[in-house]
Amino acid sequence: MAMNNTETLDMSAVGSTTGSRRSIVALAATATRDFIYLLAVLCMSIIGFVVWVTGLSLTVSLLILIIGFAIWVGTAYAFRATATVDRHLAGWMRREPIPAIYTKPSQRGFLALVRSVTRDPQTWKDLGWIVLNSILGFVVATVALTFTGLVLAYITMPLWWWAISDPHTQYATLNLGIYTVTSTGWALVTTALGLVLAPLAFALNRGAASGHAAVAAAILGPSESQRLHARVRELATTRADAVEAANEQLERIERDLHDGAQARLVALAMELGMAEEELANNPDAARESVRKARDEALNALGELRDLSRGLRPALLQDRGLGTAIEDLAHRAPLPVTVTVTGEIEDTPETVQTAVYFVVAEALTNTAKHSAATTARVSIERTDTAIGATVLDDGRGGANPQGSGLAGLHKRVRALDGRLDVISPPGGPTVVRAEIPCA
């Protein structure tokens, strides 16, 4: 939107000569693009023809044998490869990539593969497209390219007409049907004719290329139902991941409680029990036991506090994400700078919590493993998403599959977001999460 506005302003500010020169360049670029596209379509229509005729005839003739199934899968993959090239071409033409949705086999094994390939609606759409393209694409591209070639030949006639010699007259002539080019004069007339026809060729190419690309997009792109199916599959996966992440978290909490606070309370109770016994005949030992018991009580309190903070950071609920992130930065054992852009406090609470834990985990890893001297946290809120980036100057080599990061990955994915961990050996490490939110 913004780009277009500035362009229009530029056009009016600059003189009309520059403007028209620019538009001529743009026209030439479009024409070249169309031309290249149609050339590619011509090639692909021929390749597609070979693919479908060979693939289908082999499959049909061998289907009574087991090998026919293998040939069928191979054929379907050949369709897929051909369609993928066409999809990229049409995407390039339309300046908008065409998404491809293929069903993945739900189980391993050859039969499952055969079944999934056969049931995938896209296999049949691919086949339909390849057959259609091998006829329609061929015709459209041939007509448009032949006409274009003719116009180009007309325009350039003065340069080469003399090279064509008429076997009957022994003179250099060229019969165009209406008249015969026998001199440079006639050749120049032909150039004029070519220039008159040029816009027509341009329009024909334009229509052929964009029309072809539109049909390709319609057939090769996913249908609404394919899109919904893919979305449902994705949601099922992320939901399972979310449940798993929650389970892992519960396990971790139970482990933490068992190893931490519970063990300390057992030790505390034991010390107090011994102190009670020692009170009468060994007051010094009793005092020592009571002191130990108090230390254990304090340690248990600390561990419970850390645990509850890990579950539901109070500051995040009370003061929002900005303050909570600042707090994380302050508590980190290394200097951390925090930059926040946009209105982050409008973000939904679940998203804020996820962002908080991404930053918390990343900073914990930085402090524990990276040997970094500083770290930077930046939170950016746009109209449609919130991004969180944690960058450190440490030695890198973090394992993105590590349990902490894997859990975060699931958490972020469940919110339709993505988490990227870039940590080459030698550093630096960048952890970036992006979660869509209105």
Partner 1 sequence: MRVIICEDHALVRDGLERLLGNHGFDVAASVDNPGAFLAAVKRERPDVCVVDVRLPPSFTDEGVKAAIEARRQIPGLPILILSQYVEQTYARELLTGGEGGVGYLLKDRVADPKQFVDAVRRVADGGTALDPEAVARLLGRPERQGRLELLTPREREVLSLMAEGRSNSAIAEKLVITERAVEKHVSNIFWKLDLPATSKDHRRVLAVLAWLQTAD
Instruction: Give, as ranges, the residues between 25 and 84 that touch partner 1 (CB under 8 A).
Output: none
Nearer to partner 1, 120 or 296 (CB): 296
- Cross-strand bridge partners of residue 375: 336, 392
Least Å distance, CB 260 to partner 1, is 10
Nearer to partner 1, 206 or 292 (CB): 292
- Cross-strand bridge partners of residue 388: 379, 433
Q: Quick one: tokens of 42?
A: 């011509």
* Distances from the Cα of 115 to the Cα of 52, 83, 127, 286, 345, angstroms: 20, 20, 16, 76, 49
> DSSP 3-state assignment of 343?
coil
Best CA proximity match to 372, nearest among 412, 405, 337: 337
Instruction: Give, as ranges, the residues between 281 and 320 that touch partner 1 (CB under 8 A).
Output: 296
Least Å distance, CB 110 to partner 1, is 37
Nearer to partner 1, 278 or 416 (CB): 278
Distance, CA of 156 to CA of 359 (rounded, Å): 66
Spell out the residues 6+ positions from residue 141 whose beta carbon is closer than 8 angstroms to its own. 38, 39, 41, 42, 45, 208, 212
Instruction: Give, as ranges, the residues between 186 and 205 that touch partner 1 (CB under 8 A).
Output: none
Measure the CA angle with vertex 261, ends 298 and 370; round to 5°.
Answer: 90
Query: Residues 211-250: x/- map of binding to partner 1 (CB under 8 A)?
Result: ----------------------------------------
> DSSP 3-state assignment of 172?
strand
Q: The tokens 């057992």 sit on which residue?
A: 266
Nearer to partner 1, 9 or 269 (CB): 269
Nearer to partner 1, 142 or 282 (CB): 282
Least Å distance, CB 269 to partner 1, is 3
Nearer to partner 1, 275 or 433 (CB): 275
Least Å distance, CB 248 to partner 1, is 15
Instruction: Give, as ranges, the residues between 104 and 143 that touch partner 1 (CB under 8 A).
Output: none
Least Å distance, CB 369 to partner 1, is 23
Nearer to partner 1, 227 or 258 (CB): 258
Q: The tokens 């303050």 sit on which residue?
A: 323
Least Å distance, CB 402 to partner 1, is 19
Nearer to partner 1, 97 or 273 (CB): 273
| Range in contact with partner 1 (rule: CB under 8 A) among 7-15, 227-235, 254-262, 384-392 | 254-262
Least Å distance, CB 365 to partner 1, is 23
Radius of gyration of the chain (CA): 35
Spell out the residues 6+ positions from residue 139 whose beta carbon is closer than 8 angstroms to its own. none
* Number of residues located near partner 1, criterion CB under 8 A: 18
Least Å distance, CB 274 to partner 1, is 6
| Range in contact with partner 1 (rule: CB under 8 A) among 7-15, 257-265, 314-322, 343-351 | 257-265
Nearer to partner 1, 241 or 296 (CB): 296
Nearer to partner 1, 270 or 340 (CB): 270
Least Å distance, CB 259 to partner 1, is 7
Least Å distance, CB 361 to partner 1, is 22
Distance, CA of 194 to CA of 197 (rounded, Å): 5
- Cross-strand bridge partners of residue 257: none
Q: HSE of 234 in the Cβ direction (CA atoms, 13 Å)?
A: 12
Q: Quick one: tokens of 74?
A: 């191979």
**Which residue pairs, CB below 8 angstroms and at least 24 apart, start in 322-326?**
322/379, 324/356, 325/356, 325/359, 325/377, 325/379
- Cross-strand bridge partners of residue 419: 433
Q: Are strands 375-381 and 336-341 parallel, antiparallel or unpaired?
A: parallel
Spell out the residues 6+ positions from residue 135 whose beta carbon is closer than 8 angstroms to its own. 45
| Range in contact with partner 1 (rule: CB under 8 A) among 48-56, 66-74, 252-260, 336-344 | 252-260
Instruction: Give, as ranges, the residues between 258 and 277 that touch partner 1 (CB under 8 A).
Output: 258-259, 262-264, 266-267, 269-274, 276-277
Where does this chain bind partner 1 (CB under 8 A)?
255, 258-259, 262-264, 266-267, 269-274, 276-278, 296
